[in-house]
Structure formats: C-alpha cells, structure tokens
Structure 1
C-alpha cells in the first residue's frame, strides 16, 4: 500500500507555501503523481445593487476569481515541476468544498492547509478541513501554517477502539512505514480500565508488526477525557511527534456534522501535521 496520487488543496485567501512544501516532499517520498486543486466563487456583497451596475460588479468579481485561480496554478506548478513525474491541475469556479470533495475520488490522500479560524472560514475562498474530512472519503493531511517539512522521526497514533481510528491507521500505513518511531497511545476514559486500554493498543502494535511496521504502546497511568486535547498534546510532546494520526469523530445535528472537541483541536489548532480519517 502506498500513496500513488497525492492531491493538494490550495486556498485563495491564505498562504499556501507550507502546504505546497509538505505535498512536494510527500510526492518525492512516495514517488507519487500529484494533483493540485483549487476552487473559488464570487460572493456578491450584502449591499448588492441591480441593473447594469450589478452586471459590472459580477463581471469584475468573476474575473478576479479567474485571475486568482490562474495565480494558484502558477504557484503550484512552480513548486511541483521540479522533477515530479506527473503533475496535474484542476480548478473550477464553484463553492470549494463541493468541488474538492467531488474530485477527491482521484486521490489517495489530500494535503490541505490548516484553518485556524475555522468558524470564520470563507466558504467561497477555501475548503475548511473540518468539513472536507466528513465529505471526501479520503484521509487528510492537515498542515499548520508554520510547518516547513514533514517530520517523520516520530509519529503518534491517537487510538480509540472505533471504526474511525481503525480506518485512520489503515489510511496512514504508508506514512507509518516511512517513520522512524511509531507510538500507539490511548487516553483512558473516566472510569475506564488502564489494563484494557493497554491490551487494545498492544493489539494494534502486533497488527502493525505483521505489516512490517515497528511500533510501541503508550497508555499513561493518569489521563482523562476531561481535557483530552491537552493530554494528547502532552503525549505528542513527550515522544517528540512530528505527525499525529487520528480518526475524525463528531455527532450530527440537523443537516450538519459537528466535530468533537479533540478532532476540532487537531484540525484547527495543532502545531503538528495531522492525518485525519473518517
């Protein structure tokens, strides 16, 4: 199993340097083809007018979007045309989440920049990773803005005995195979058994060994779900993790999906690259 096709999603309203740097490194590590993707749509202002003035405003707005998409393509090709075997660009004028989620069928993994102000992400200018992980059916590698390389010296897998975590560890196997150290950790829920958590994580370690991936289990004696995000960050720091692998969890509300606290933290606030899968 490998990442044969890596897709990198670019935003039109925030820097893409880190995202492109990580994607370029992954392309080289996995000898993969790369697909750059971007979409944007003109959003008329709330004080929208009518008639000839409105038509002019719409035309100017759409032309600005076209120009920005062309700039993103140039930015993408400038980074990726340095010896990459197969480079492809896809862009469209539509709501970004719709376009990227639809085109995700062409990729094994999607590299995307972190949206720190998730609640204020402009849906007409970029894809919110929290939305994409629910809709894409592909793992995401979420890149913090200040990341400049893919640190695989140590990878931390945040285990939870759920379908999402099992899917995430399967999706991350190519990455884990490149890592120097892999740690499987579980945060024991209030009232949960440390011994049972250790048994579960050791099962995962054994399973990985049959895929030629060496790992170790780490279940802290004192951990709590009351501040699971802080506990996970603390564990990541203690093992020097450069990447965190996790399942994406949440719950549904009427016509929307709301990510849980730890998943939202990983998607929007982590200082490390995060592989999320659902």
Structure 2
C-alpha cells in the first residue's frame, strides 16, 4: 500500500501554508500526485434584501468568492510545483464539506487544517470532523504551527476498535517512513493493564510483519486519557499521532468523542485519523 493521490483542502479564511507543505512532502516521499481543492458558498447577510438589489449582492458575493478561490489555486500550484507526480485543481461555489466529500473518491489521503473550538461557518470551511467521519478516507490534520511533516517519531494511539484498526492500516505508508514508532494504549477504567499489554504486543507484531519496528507502551498510571496521550507524545517527541476517530451521534455521526475532539483541536502535532 502507498499514497498515490493526496488531496489537500484549502481554506478561504485560514492559513494554508502548513497543510500545503505537508501535502508537498507526502508527494515527494511517495512519488504521489496532489489534488488541491477549495469551495465556498455565498452566505447572505442577516439583513438580506430582495429583488434587483438582492441579485446584485449575490453577484458581488460570488465574484469575490471566485476571486479568492483563484488566488488559492495560484497558491496551491506555486507550493507543489515540481514536487508531485501530477497536480490537479478542483473548486466550486458550493458548501465546502459537501463538495470535498463528493470529490474524496479520487484520493488515498486528505490533508486538512485543524479545527478551533469556535463554531465554524459551513458556508466557508469544511470542518475536519465532517471530513474524517464521512469521507471514507484517512484524514491528516495539520495544525497551522506545523512547519513540516515530522516523521522522526510517530505515536500510534491504540484502542481495540474498528476505527483504530483502520487508522493503523491507513497509516502504514507513513509508519514505514518513520524513524521511530511507538504503539501505546491507555488503560481505561474497568480494563486491566495485562490485557492492554497483550493487545499492544499483538499490534507491534503485526507491524513487524509489515516492515515496521515499533516500541510497545502501556502506562502504569491512570488518569484522563487526553492528558496521558499528550504526555506520552511529548515524552517521545512525536511529530505525528495515528488514531481512530470516534463519534457518539448515530445521526450523521458528527458529535465527536472527547479524544477525537481533542486531537483535531490541539495545535502541537499532526494527527492521522480514520473512521
């Protein structure tokens, strides 16, 4: 397995440099093509009017969006030029999440920015939680502070679930490029540490059969899972975390679990998520 096509989602109102750099580095490492994608929908103001004045307002708004999308295309092409096997640009005047989810079929991996705790505008940006829960593709969340895709140390946040199994399989190409890989499971209330040790040992053995040497880690101490994961990541100098993405809502599955929400909002390191 490899990454043959990487899709990078550009935002109209957020910095894009970090995610473009990550997409370019992935293209170089895997001799992959890169598809740049951007979309936005005109959002009428609260004082929206009607008639000719309304149509003029819509026309002006859409013209501004087209201009901004054209600027993003130029930024995309300039950033990945001579770095990818091929480059392609896709854009639309549409709701960003809807358009990107439709186009995700062409990619092996989607690169996106992180997500703030503030409410996002569905007219202007595709939230990473929507992408990871609905795209059917792994999502690499790249914080704006990430200057490069640091694969010197990668942390696999293991949990014996379908989502974690998909995430580790989806991340195999990256794990093979990593210098050090650590598989860690945080023991939750009601579970036993010896059982967690056996699970992590199985995962490390599975990785070894795929050419990845991994260190096993199951902390002795109990505590908040997010705090423990952050401490482990800091202790091993992880540049990337691999994890399953979990949702609690059966209605569109957009209400994320606490760990997943934490991972897409943290600003320290890149995170590869699969659902």
TM-score by length of 2: 0.98
Gaps of 5+ in 2: none
Find the residue that maps to 2:195 and give its secondary structure: helix
Residue 268 of structure 1 deviates from its aligned partner by 1.3
For 2:191 and 2:235, the matched residues in 1 are separated by: 23
Deviation track 1:35-61 (CA, whole Å, cap 9, x = no partner) reads 000101101011101111111100000
Question: Which residue does the alignment assign to 1:36?
Answer: 36
- Residue 237 of structure 1 aligns to a residue whose secondary structure is helix
Structure 1 outlier segments of 4+, above 2 Å:
82-85, 253-257
Distance 2:57 2:23 in 1: 36
Counting matched residue pairs gives: 275
Deviation digits for residues 46-105 of structure 1, max 9, x if unmatched? 110111111110000010111111111000001111343301000011000001011110
What are the Cα deviations for residues 13-46 of structure 1, in whole angstroms up to 9, with x where unaligned?
1110111011111110111011000101101011
Q: Does 1:259 align with 2:263?
A: no
Deviations 1:167-189 (A, max 9, x none): 00000000000000000000001
TM-score by structure 1 length?
0.97
Q: Is the 8 A contact 2:24 2:83 kept in 1?
A: no
Cα RMSD between the aligned structures? 1.1
Q: Give the secondary structure class of the aligned counterpart of 1:120.
A: coil
> Which runs of no fewer than 5 residues in structure 1 stay unpaired?
none
Residue by residue, what CA displacement relative to the aligned partner does 1:133-180 show, whole Å, maximum 9, x if unpaired? 011000000001111101101000000000000000000000000000
Q: Tell me the secondary structure at the aligned position of residue 137 of structure 2.
A: coil
